[in-house]
Structure 1
Amino acid sequence: MEYGSIERENYVNAPPDVVFQTVSDPKHIKEWWPDSALYEVAEGANGEIRFGDLDSGGIAVQLTIVDVSPPNRFAFRWTHPVGEDASPGNSMLVTFELRPSGEGTLLRFTETGFREMGWEAAVLEEQYREHVQGWDYFLPKLGPYAESLAQKA
């Protein structure tokens, strides 16, 4: 198996501007992915996302926004060590590409950077599988949430 990237493509029954808000705005992203998101939606902005309560074993993960092109593309690097700038070799790159399709949006998700981390084979495989499991759990929540936002608009 190639542990280089994770790719998913989904149709979301909501317009691209709503889907863009869903994948980029901290107040919306926390409704389908992390428990908390703290960052400015601007290229170069740094922040973090949190999974669970930090006082009860939860984790905070660093995040750097690398592309904000509404309503077509949103990308960030994450998982880099605290105090280090995100770059290839110390972080994963997550990209959401959005294209109008009928009444909704074709969303293409990719996460890359696994091979560039320089991990030994067992760690690479473990990290890749953990990310696949995570995205397979969280990404299906994105569409219904975006669709609910579109209905409210």
Structure 2
Amino acid sequence: MELGTIERELYVEATPAVVFEVVSDPAHVKQWWSDDARYETVVGSEGEILFADADGGKVEAFTVVEVQPPTRFSFRWTHPAGEEAVEGNSLLVTFELVAQGAGTLVRFRETGFRERGWTAAVQQATYEDHVHGWDYFLPRLVTHAAALDARP
């Protein structure tokens, strides 16, 4: 099993500009992915993503890597708080947005699992957790963006 990269392609019935807003703006990110998102949509912005649960939740460090409206947004996350996000201590998520008909093809990619230096068991468990998570959250992105694009 390949445990290094998660890739998905999704079609969204919304313009690339709307989809870019949905994947990059913290106000929208917390509508489809996290319970809260605190960062600025500028390269180098450091912040955090929060996920609530019965035990109080989990906070993940988050650093914006690339902002190219309306075609590309990427960030690093899961690195130790207070450390600079770099290859080897974080995962890299990239959203590439391509106009397709009246909508947008979203090419999603998360990498960096092998580079973290985890034991095989931790790498596999983390990878599987992220596969499960993205399979749940990415369809919510599609729904949220389509609803926004339908705004009057």
**TM-score above 0.5:** yes
Match of 2:17? 17
1:100 aligns with 2:119: no
Distance 1:123 1:91 in 2: 14
Amino acid at match of 2:123: L
Match of 2:5? 5
Superposed, which structure 2 residues align to 1:76-115 within 5 Å? 76-115=75-114
Distance 1:48 1:81 in 2: 11
Q: CA deviation at 1:38?
A: 0.4
Give the aligned CA root-mean-square deviation in angstroms.
1.1
Distance 2:120 2:77 in 1: 21
Q: CA deviation at 1:57?
A: 2.1
1:122 aligns with 2:147: no
TM-superposition CA deviations, 1:118-138 (whole Å, max 9, x none): 111111111100000110110
Distance 2:11 2:103 in 1: 7
Distance 2:43 2:65 in 1: 5
Distance 1:114 1:44 in 2: 22
Distance 1:47 1:66 in 2: 12
TM-superposition CA deviations, 1:40-94 (whole Å, max 9, x none): 00000000010016x9420110000000000000000000001100000000000
1:37 aligns with 2:37: yes
Give the TM-score normalised by the residue count of structure 2. 0.97
TM-superposition CA deviations, 1:83-108 (whole Å, max 9, x none): 10000000000000000000000000
Distance 1:82 1:19 in 2: 29
Distance 2:122 2:86 in 1: 19
Q: CA deviation at 1:14?
A: 0.3
Q: Give structure 2 stretches of 5+ with no counterpart.
A: none
Match of 1:46? 46
Q: Give structure 1 stretches of 5+ with no counterpart.
A: none
- Please identify runs of 4+ aligned residues in structure 1 that moved more than 2 A: none
Number of equivalences: 152
Amino acid at match of 2:7: E
Percent of aligned positions that are identical: 59
